[in-house]
Amino acid sequence: MKKKHMLMGVFATAMLVGFGAAKILVGFRAVNTFSKDATAVRAGDTALSDTGNAPLVDGRAERDNFYSQVGKLLQAEKFDQLDAMVDNLRNTRPHLLGGGSKLALFYSDLESWGKLEDRLQLFQKWADARPDSATARIALAWGYINYAWQARGSGWASEVKKEGWNLFAERLKKSRGILEETEKMTTKDPYLYYDFIWVAIGEGWDREKMEEVFKKGVAADPTYYPLYFSKANYLLPRWHGEPGDWVKFAEEAADMTKKTEGSSLYARIIQFIILKHRGTAEFKLDTGIFERSDIFWPKLKQGYEDKARLYPGSLEDAHAFCFFACLAQDRETARRLFARIGNRPNEEIWGK
């Protein structure tokens, strides 16, 4: 019964493009139409289409193991080991299956542990115990950003009460102060500038000031995807952009990184924004989403194809590619990807 429930998101979306549930249960064949883009392909890598029946790997186990490792160190207050871990991650820039940054996962894991108020106390204790730890302060600043949004809520500005606004401003100011002091300690951690951009969103910085911060982050690590995600968020119409600005930025980001990430970064940004804001008025997920937006399916499709070559073997990426193929009503691509995926649902992509 649980498995059937988990698959309903897949069934419902596939039905939008005319697939019957019975056909989905037996699966489809793998996609076989990827193009060659020399600027975004590493020698020796293969895409989904080139690997035939090679297995796709679920990267969640890798992420869960790392989460457990970070959590145990944090709970045991092994602050020196956490600092050493991050120093190594900054220097080596390792990637997860699918290309995600392990440094980004580290900070995400810190911010997923326990209750927010408990995390803030622990991060403050870490910062006090290790005055030279930039990591502790970056984590503390992000904690206050979350604390600010907790007071404000995620609704429209007209829905926020005066007390919420006051706490929001107070906590963002606290975060900004921590970040400004931390920047004097290091400029090599891109998450520092990721935090800054979220302060910029909350405090309503002008675009020029936000761009300065973004450039500093890219200088620290041009392949640190969360920087691009936070800037895309800033450019949403509900915050500080005009309609189409964030998609235009996704195109610019692909051009900026054409020697390394290229159109795969376009796909990452589109996927992050749409899945983060799914269900809102701006991002109603149905087959008309491409007509209502400036998202260009052939370019998005190319991005997933290039991503599969750069970082092959990711089951999560195959799910995402298939999800958007269904929305684009690209039946052949969806059919082939469903065959590769098989009966392995992913609620993070398809929803519950």
Alpha helices in 153-206 (DSSP H): 162-183, 190-203
Question: Is the model's pLDDT at 2 over the cut of 70?
Answer: no
Q: Does residue 70 belong to any structural domain of this protein?
A: no
Lowest mean pLDDT among 28-42, 145-159, 286-300: 28-42
The reported pLDDT for the residue numbered 5 is 38
Q: Looking at the structure, do residues 216 and 244 belong to the same domain, yes or no?
A: no
Question: Is the model's pLDDT at 313 over the cut of 50?
Answer: yes
Q: Are 330 and 301 in contact (CB under 8 A)?
A: yes
- Report CA torsion sign: 139, 64, 83, 230: negative
The reported pLDDT for the residue numbered 39 is 33
pLDDT-derived band of residue 291, with 50, 70 and 90 as boundaries? Answer: confident
pLDDT-derived band of residue 12, with 50, 70 and 90 as boundaries? Answer: very low
What CATH code is carried by the domain that includes residue 186?
A: 1.25.40.10
The reported pLDDT for the residue numbered 21 is 31
Question: Is the model's pLDDT at 22 over the cut of 50?
Answer: no
Which of 202, 222, 242 represents a domain boundary (last residue)? 222
Chain centre to alpha carbon of residue 192 = 16
Separation of alpha carbons 62 and 97, rounded Å: 8
Q: Which of the two residues, 12 and 22, has the higher pLDDT score?
A: 12
- pTM here is 0.85
Question: Is the model's pLDDT at 34 over the cut of 70?
Answer: no
The reported pLDDT for the residue numbered 155 is 76
Q: Looking at the structure, do residues 28 and 87 belong to the same domain, yes or no?
A: no
Q: Are 228 and 253 in contact (CB under 8 A)?
A: yes
Average pLDDT rounded to a whole number, residues 81-90: 97
Tokens matching residue 155: 């609704």
Average pLDDT rounded to a whole number, residues 127-135: 97
The vertex-191 CA angle with 187 and 195, nearest 5°, equals: 105
Tokens matching residue 103: 């440094």
Q: Looking at the structure, do residues 332 and 250 belong to the same domain, yes or no?
A: yes
Question: Is the model's pLDDT at 104 over the cut of 80?
Answer: yes
The Cβ of residue 232 has, within 10 Å, a number of other Cβ atoms equal to 23
> Using one digit for the tens of pLDDT, what is the confidence trace for 198-240?
999 999 999 999 999 999 999 999 999 999 999 999 999 999 9
Q: What are phi and psi of 314, to 5 degrees?
A: -90, 120
Question: Is the model's pLDDT at 138 over the cut of 90?
Answer: yes
Q: Looking at the structure, do residues 106 and 192 belong to the same domain, yes or no?
A: yes
Average pLDDT rounded to a whole number, residues 307-324: 96
Q: Are 301 and 325 in contact (CB under 8 A)?
A: yes
Cβ contacts of residue 139 below 8 Å, gap of 6+? 107, 110, 111, 123, 126
Q: Does residue 279 belong to any structural domain of this protein?
A: yes
Which of 188, 222, 256 represents a domain boundary (last residue)? 222
Residue span of the structural domain in which 137 resides: 80-96+102-222
Instruction: List the beta bridge partners of residue 57.
Output: 314
pLDDT-derived band of residue 6, with 50, 70 and 90 as boundaries? Answer: very low
Question: Is the model's pLDDT at 177 over the cut of 50?
Answer: yes
pLDDT-derived band of residue 349, with 50, 70 and 90 as boundaries? Answer: very high
Which amino acid, residue 73? Answer: L
Q: Are 246 and 280 in contact (CB under 8 A)?
A: no
Which of 196, 222, 248 represents a domain boundary (last residue)? 222
Q: Looking at the structure, do residues 218 and 232 belong to the same domain, yes or no?
A: no
Tokens matching residue 97: 């299956």
Tokens matching residue 169: 């401003």
What average pLDDT is seen over the chain?
Answer: 86
Q: What are phi and psi of 235, to 5 degrees?
A: -85, 0
Instruction: List the beta bridge partners of residue 95.
Output: 101
The reported pLDDT for the residue numbered 54 is 59
